[in-house]
Chains A and B, each alone.
Chain A
Amino acid sequence: MGTTLCLASRERPSLTDPARSPFAISELTVSYGEKPAVLSIDATVPAGSMTAIIGPNGAGKSTLLKAALGMVPRLSGAVTVYGEPVEKSLHRIAYVPQRASVDWDFPTRVIDVVLMGLYRELGLLRPVRARHRERALACLERVGMADFAARQIGQLSGGQQQRVFLARALAQDAELYLLDEPFAGVDAATERAIITVLKDLNAEGRTVICVHHDLATVADYFDHVLLINVRKVAEGPVATAFTPENLQKTYGGRLATAHIDQLKLPAA
């Protein structure tokens, strides 16, 4: 924990107190083989924020989320959700994996995928009732996919697949939304639909964290950023942390200065 965090916590104690944060990680280290993918990262995401996790390819953004949720073994580090260990808080979290991580040829329909979001309620054997279907349909409605409920998922475009994944997360009715690259490879209409839903979720008081790759939209979509490249580079409100210097540090030589200048950066 650096001095910045201590300062920040004095200014806004309720937001950056790890015990109240919807997502706080400390000293998180993950390694595939010999090279660390994530090295000793601390982060305290403020409650009610729209947070982007930003960094170059291979910076460990997705790994950070997966390790935090226990899908990838952590070498060290602790993750808490509202002060509780993440393992005990899965019911408060909705996770949207990368679209490309599943086989869309799987024999199932759109509505069945959304119903998977109700797994914690339905458990092993409780039957799916009309009210569950209605809820799933309402979630599809929210992402503009209600007409596709009976389609086989392989018949969807990439953007439609992403919306179905979001609908499944909506069905979970969680407090914390973790999304891995929700805007990757989607059409403009889908991007608008997704950001609208995410902002609505945020307006309802839920915390949204996205692994995000498009620097041009960061300032429009998010209010908090975590810049990482294996290690943490910066964390904080977009206005103070999403700066050309920090981006240069995050991306190194991979991001030309001219490119940074074109970005919609917050006025310094």
Chain B
Amino acid sequence: MGSEFVQLSLTPMLIGILAAIACALPGNFLVLRRQALIGDAISHVVLPGIVAAFLITGSVSTWPMLLGAAGAAVVAVVLIEAIKRLGRIEPGAAMGVVFTSLFAAGVLLLEQSDTSSVHLDVEHALYGNLESLIWFAAEDWSSLVDSAALRELPPELFRMAGAAFVIALLTLIFWRPLKLSTFDEAFARAVGIPTVAVSLGLVIVSAVAAVAAFDAVGSIIVIAMFICPPAAARLMTNRLERQVFWSIVFATLSAVLGYVLAGYGPLWLGGEHAVSAAGMIATVSGLILALAALFGPHRSRIGAPTGS
């Protein structure tokens, strides 16, 4: 675990951890609000926005992508509302139709456009390019204090760290309104909490997490991290504060274990190639959820239909 680890594995692992935490934090509230699929929807919907932003600006820098993603999200919301009203169908179906069609449109757009010069293709959209985010300039652990080497860190790391920091800060500051309006929206309104703004803010923060993570780790991790760590964490405790703590633990564990298993697991098993880190991280998060569902201390739900 020396120079090779620092150069090849340290930054992808850190980016994976940060992406996982950035998605898991808002995921806790989405899952409790029974809106877990919004994370799924967002990560699908942003694709055409990101591609369109790339086609217009010709670069994959952060702001055009964020704006493109936000634009796509707005289009999606309008479409979902329109389909709900005009077609008179339930919101879940409207959502499902809109986000799969938009994702498909994004894939088509991606295939038709010339994106060979940048890391933007269908595979990348799903798996990201975690393994390629290596730190060329690093020699060994001493590079961590070498300013010249630090300047060469992949920019995705700073982008992801920034997003994770902002999301963590917002979660802390707006903890009470978030918790209150998630538990009892009517009461929250009655004490003057702008619950519509809180819901919208939560969706926007989720979109920021999805867009920031999307570029580095792809949509598979985003979808998995919005749901798996918070859902597993819910089975570990009956207090929201601890649930969020557990979700961070599980997100980190998924990222580290998933990355290591993807890189070394197949070799240990006699295979020749490493597998996709993003796929393995998502798989590990699913396994953690399965284990929590089987052995978690609070897996029996009092509110479940059988119990009441």
Is the pairing of A and B real? yes
A residues sitting closer than 8 Å to B (CB atoms) are 66, 69-71, 90-91, 93-95, 97, 101-109, 112-113, 116, 119-120, 122-125, 152, 154-155, 168, 172, 178
Q: Are the C-beta atoms of B301 and A101 separated by less than 8 Å?
A: no
Assess A119 versus B186: contact at CB under 8 Å? Given A108-B239, A124-B176, A152-B238. no
What string of 1s and 0s marks CB contacts (under 8 Å) between B165-201 and chain A? 0000000011111011011101101111100000000
Q: Are the C-beta atoms of B302 and A107 separated by less than 8 Å?
A: no
For A168, the chain B residues whose CB sits under 8 A away are 187
B285 CB-CB contact with A under 8 Å: no
What CA separation (Å) do A16 and B88 show in the bound complex? 45
B44 CB-CB contact with A under 8 Å: no
CB-based nearest A residue for B238 = A152
CB-based nearest B residue for A117 = B191
17 A-B pairs besides A108-B240, A119-B193 with CB distance below 8 A are A66-B186, A71-B186, A95-B190, A97-B184, A97-B186, A103-B32, A103-B303, A104-B303, A105-B304, A106-B240, A107-B239, A108-B239, A123-B176, A124-B174, A154-B238, A154-B303, A172-B191
Q: Are the C-beta atoms of A69 and B189 separated by less than 8 Å?
A: yes
For B252, the chain A residues whose CB sits under 8 A away are none
B residues sitting closer than 8 Å to A (CB atoms) are 32, 173-177, 179-180, 182-184, 186-187, 189-193, 234, 237-240, 242-243, 301-304
Assess A120 versus B191: contact at CB under 8 Å? Given A105-B302, A106-B32, A154-B303. yes
Q: Are the C-beta atoms of B190 and A109 separated by less than 8 Å?
A: no
Nearest-neighbour CB distance to chain A for B5, whole angstroms, equals: 38
**Interchain CB contact (< 8 A) of B173 among A91, A95, A120, A124:** A124
Provide 26 A-B residue pairs closer than 8 Å at the C-beta atoms, listed in order of the A residue: A69-B189, A70-B189, A71-B186, A71-B190, A93-B190, A95-B187, A97-B184, A97-B190, A101-B186, A104-B302, A104-B303, A105-B304, A106-B32, A106-B183, A107-B237, A107-B238, A107-B240, A107-B243, A112-B239, A119-B180, A119-B193, A122-B176, A124-B177, A154-B303, A172-B191, A178-B190
Which of B174, B187, B193 has the most chain A CB atoms closer than 10 A to its own CB?
B187
Which 4 pairs from chain A and chain B are nearest by CB? A105-B303, A95-B190, A154-B302, A152-B238
